[in-house]
Structure 1
Amino acid sequence: MTIKSGNIGRRALGLGIATTGGLALGTRQAEAQRASDTLRVVFRDAVPNIDPYFNSQRTGLILGHQAWDGLVHRDPETFRIVPALATEWRWIDTRTIDFTLRPGVKFHDGSDFTADDVVYTINTVASPDSRVSTPSNYSWIDRVEKTGNLSVRLHMKVPTPAALEYFALVTPIWPKAYRERVGADGYSRAPIGTGPYRITRVDSASIVEYERFDGYYQGGPKGRPAIRRIVARFVTDAATELTELLSQRVDWIWNMNPDQIANVNRLPMLQTLQQESMRVGYLTLDAAGRSGQTPMTNLKVRQAVCHAIDRKAMAERLVTGGSRVPPAPCYPSQFGCDGAAAVEYDYNPAKARQLLAEAGFPNGFDIELTSYVQPRQWSEAVQSYLNAVGIRARLNLLQVAAQIQRSQRGELALAMGSWGSYSINDVSAFMPQWFGGGNEDYARYAEVQRLLAEGGSSADENVRKRAYSAAIRRVTEQAYFLPLHTYVNTYAFSRQLDFKAFPDELPRFYLAKWK
């Protein structure tokens, strides 16, 4: 099969140039926007709940990162853990950490941050009844106790070496008194945190607005933002998103189709930037039969799927920018991601057809392939590869939230998506999501669940590595999950904007400024 670039982005580009008309008009619009000190950004996936604990989407993590802080912060350049709401921490033993909290921190409503807020937040989300979107991020926590007005002690159920990574990236602190007063629903409609921006308006279907929080604490790791306001809007497709940028109605987009880079860079008011991220594109295959007795329950069929797709061609010709094919179901830099332990599946359509015949499907079969992946050409490429060997995939493109909901209900026989591990550089943030027995586990393999629990609960690095390597071996030999490629984020934004990208896939608007 030959991969070809689609024309959706090209149509959008033509429309955008038509709407911008004269370059002088575009320049005046950009200058006017800079004068209003409002950064306008667009995302393609609306989040169902702005509270970071109750959505698992990357967009939700990004939006939350501007407005909330955790106990610690991970430096985006060095990945070193640095102080945030906690100024100091000390490991008492492999299951206990003492934190000293920062004095003088205010929430966005002016109330004081104290140990009560930390205890309330962490004990709430660690409870099995919390209904957080990704329970594995907190299931290792036993409890937090208050040891002083500005000090707490964390107790873990098991040793968790990556504890500080989780606290840095996925454990923002709620204001106890305010959230208890307004309730969970009221908090999602009018949230407050301690971050450098405060949220002034939320419509989860269309828009989130921010204003700089001038009371952000001194010494905060994110610093005082240079830009006063942010308006984040949601659109439904890539063509609309690109048109908005070209029409100067927004200043920043990301994950633009890479085949438009050269065209966008030719415009004097815009620029692009590419940066590989910790996100991995994947296919999940319903080996456990949660969606019914489909062909995916047959090992040889799953192996055929793995041999049918030219992942290297997808990475190099569609994703571009240095994208790679991960050998294991994790991001290569993550602790425990042992590519050498993985069973390899080369691109071999003849082998795929042979395996299908051996499985009892010499004439192939029909199946639904769901995907929220954009650009849609990437999903269409997978569909075409599968069709070429006789797997007649009916592509059903969904919104991100819709596919996540269907996946968690166990309805997807074959699904294409991506996982960014919340940017946590540890296998415990990747593999348990898909093989740990949760709502999105389509393998249901008790031995793998045991190995992942062992790898995530030991303070001994060698024990962790052995457990994760064994889990990777079993997952790949059973073809439960096919990593397709790493993601390379393609950003496009106004030349008036000074913006830097980082490999953890967290755009930091609080670091951006106008030139």
Structure 2
Amino acid sequence: MGWHGPSLRPACRVVQPAGRRPAALLPSRASIGRVMAMLRRDVLLAGAGVAAGLGLGREALAQKSAETLRIVMRDALPNIDPYYNNLRTGLVMAHQAWDTLVHRDPESFEIKPLLATAWRFPEPTVLELDIRQGVKFHDGSDLTAEDVVYTLNLVSSPESRVATPSNYAWIEKAEATGPFAVRVRLKRPTPAALEYLALVTPVYPKAYREKVGADGYVRAPVGAGPYRITKFEPGAAVEFERFDGYWQGSPKGRPAIRRLSVRFVPDATTELTELLSGRADWIWNMNPDQFEQVNRLPMVQAVRQESMRLGYMSIDAAGRSGADNPLTKLKVRQAIWHAVDRKAIAEKLVTGGSRVPVAPCYPSQFGCDAQAATTYDYDPARAKALLAEAGYPGGFETEVVSYVLPQWGSAVQNYLQAVGIKARLTQMQVAAAIQRNWQGNTPLFLGSWGSYSVNDVSAIMPVFFGGGNDDYVRDPEMQRLMLEGGSSMDPEARKHAYSAAIKRATEQAYWLPLHTYVTTYGFSRQLNFKPYADELPRFYLTNWK
């Protein structure tokens, strides 16, 4: 691969947590070669009219005629309720089955009407919304202002314990001012309010959810989106059917494909095998090494799209994992920033146009000021010198907890080891890794953050610097700047606060942005599917050729 740097082989054993499925390992070259050889043989046999092998074309044609799109994913959902999971998989499912108050155009990012036909800010902390009439929930009930008020008040309450409270912490109270009119009082001016209402605020049916309760709602969810959920098996599968009562004129449109069948598999090897064997029509997050090989096959194709997701390493500057943690020392953190060749990881491992973010945010997000960031070149010699200055001339031992692709974690681990930091790599499933991280038990943590596709710094920096579960900095000045940047309707005041925060975060080497994600999609050549930069597959816009 032309790798310039430490070996890609792990220096330490990868520890799997007891009682859980292995992490999502990528298929090896040998395994993918075997599958592709089988497929080539099957294509030849099918072309000769012989009924044998995997039957890729026949299975796909059968699903097309059955009006079913078969989707296979990793990161299985234990809870389908969009407010009670923070996985990208959950956000994708939510946008198929639920509608939000406003719609963000996937091409232009323009905010357009959806369940709200109009909105206005009569005061900086007051948002008024006119609710669309004639919208039906999947159970046949009418959507009114009461459903909107119920949803906003529930998810903004600390007692609700939603998965990502910061998405709704700006809401003080919602009230109905008419059957189809809502007033939302904000705790502070929130310039990104409409982005949050578009991306992460689906509307609950009040009467139904109160009737069945939170547990009953997970078992049989009801929304108002273009698809309705007909079956949910936690961690295993979700079945959707087109909602024929979906309101006319929606910018989402009426789905062309009648049914979606989503299955969750434990690893990327299984996922890719399902696609190549014709048992799935769509997958994503493929191994980028297989991009060209897949595109040489006649029945499937692969496409790539950079997303707003960042790969990162959280560094325990606050000492949450131990008060005497070497990571609490500035020079140690600076050594880590110099030790990791992020450019090589982006270009040689992630590939497809991946970039190294200078600041702790995605470049297009409002407030992401790269000019304010302190930069760190890949410089192992400087890293060793900084460790010696910090009192660790021989390095030290620590742990990296990760749910990202194992070879990415191994690369980071080996870069650290090359300068003397002996980091044990613990690979975990996503949910288990996040849970452990929230408990304060991860000295170094490799993860990814997609900002819920919100194109504003307030969707990423407060998560890691605002005092919540993911904050391993716990810096009062950073928290103050997060509040300041998120509490003004003045764009210049917001930029000033976020620039100051970026300057401080990078000077202190708090949180290491590693690379942007490039999502690799694999799908049937019979499928018209378009990826978008916000990393939200829109199956309601997909159709069969």
Q: Is the 8 A contact 1:287 1:297 kept in 2?
A: yes
Counterpart Cα distance in 1 of 2:352 and 2:248 = 38
Correspondent of 2:42 among 13, 22, 30:
22
Give the drift of 1:359.
1.5
**Alignment partner of 2:57: what SS?**
helix
The amino acid of 1:504's aligned partner reads: D
Q: Is the 8 A contact 2:7 2:414 kept in 1?
A: no
Q: 1:444 to 1:230 in 2, by over 3 A?
A: same
Q: Pairwise mapping of residues 293-332 of structure 1 onto structure 2 (< 5 A)? A: 293-332=324-363
What residue is the counterpart of 2:227 in the other structure? 197
The amino acid of 1:14's aligned partner reads: G
Q: Pairwise mapping of residues 34-433 of structure 1 onto structure 2 (< 5 A)? A: 34-292=64-322, 293-374=324-405, 376-433=406-463
Q: CA RMSD in A?
A: 1.3
Shifted more, 236-245 versus 282-291: the winner is 236-245
What residue is the counterpart of 2:495 in the other structure? 465
Deviation digits for residues 195-251 of structure 1 (CA, Å, limit 9, x no counterpart)? 000011111211111111111111112111111111111112111111111111111
Give the drift of 1:18.
4.7
Counterpart Cα distance in 2 of 1:185 and 1:11 = 44
Counterpart Cα distance in 1 of 2:340 and 2:213 = 48
Counterpart Cα distance in 2 of 1:442 and 1:192 = 37
2:30 equivalent to 1:11: yes
Q: Is the 8 A contact 2:6 2:414 kept in 1?
A: no
Counterpart Cα distance in 2 of 1:289 and 1:11 = 43
Q: Is the 8 A contact 1:274 1:491 kept in 2?
A: yes
For this pair of structures, how many residues does the alignment match? 514
Counterpart Cα distance in 2 of 1:255 and 1:7 = 10
The amino acid of 1:17's aligned partner reads: M
Runs (5+) with no aligned partner, structure 2: 10-24, 47-54
Counterpart Cα distance in 2 of 1:354 and 1:475 = 22
Counterpart Cα distance in 1 of 2:37 and 2:295 = 16
Give the drift of 1:2.
5.3
Give the drift of 1:17.
2.4
**Alignment partner of 2:80: what SS?**
coil
Q: Is the 8 A contact 2:149 2:176 kept in 1?
A: yes
Counterpart Cα distance in 1 of 2:109 and 2:288 = 27
| Percent of aligned pairs sharing the same letter | 65
Shifted more, 42-51 versus 171-180: the winner is 42-51
Q: Is the 8 A contact 1:3 1:317 kept in 2?
A: no
The amino acid of 2:354's aligned partner reads: S
Shifted more, 7-16 versus 418-427: the winner is 7-16
Counterpart Cα distance in 1 of 2:452 and 2:273 = 29
Counterpart Cα distance in 2 of 1:391 and 1:364 = 5
Counterpart Cα distance in 1 of 2:38 and 2:137 = 42
Q: Is the 8 A contact 1:455 1:464 kept in 2?
A: yes
**Alignment partner of 2:426: what SS?**
strand
Q: Is the 8 A contact 1:16 1:242 kept in 2?
A: no
The amino acid of 1:146's aligned partner reads: A
Q: TM-score, normalised by structure 2?
A: 0.92
Counterpart Cα distance in 2 of 1:430 and 1:45 = 21
Deviation digits for residues 406-431 of structure 1 (CA, Å, limit 9, x no counterpart)? 11111111000100000001000010
Q: Is the 8 A contact 1:451 1:470 kept in 2?
A: yes
Counterpart Cα distance in 2 of 1:13 and 1:177 = 50
Give the drift of 1:3.
6.6
Q: TM-score, normalised by structure 1?
A: 0.98
Give the drift of 1:116.
0.6
Counterpart Cα distance in 2 of 1:301 and 1:237 = 35
Q: 1:285 to 1:7 in 2, by over 3 A?
A: closer
**Alignment partner of 1:240: what SS?**
helix
Structure 1 segments, 4+ long, off by >3 Å, are 2-9, 18-21
**Alignment partner of 1:8: what SS?**
coil
The amino acid of 2:382's aligned partner reads: K
Counterpart Cα distance in 1 of 2:447 and 2:278 = 30
Give the drift of 1:308.
0.5
The amino acid of 1:444's aligned partner reads: R
What residue is the counterpart of 2:524 in the other structure? 494
Give the drift of 1:300.
1.2
**Alignment partner of 1:225: what SS?**
coil
Deviation digits for residues 143-191 of structure 1 (CA, Å, limit 9, x no counterpart)? 1110111111111111111100000000000000000011011111111
Q: Is the 8 A contact 1:200 1:209 kept in 2?
A: yes
Counterpart Cα distance in 2 of 1:297 and 1:469 = 23
The amino acid of 2:42's aligned partner reads: G
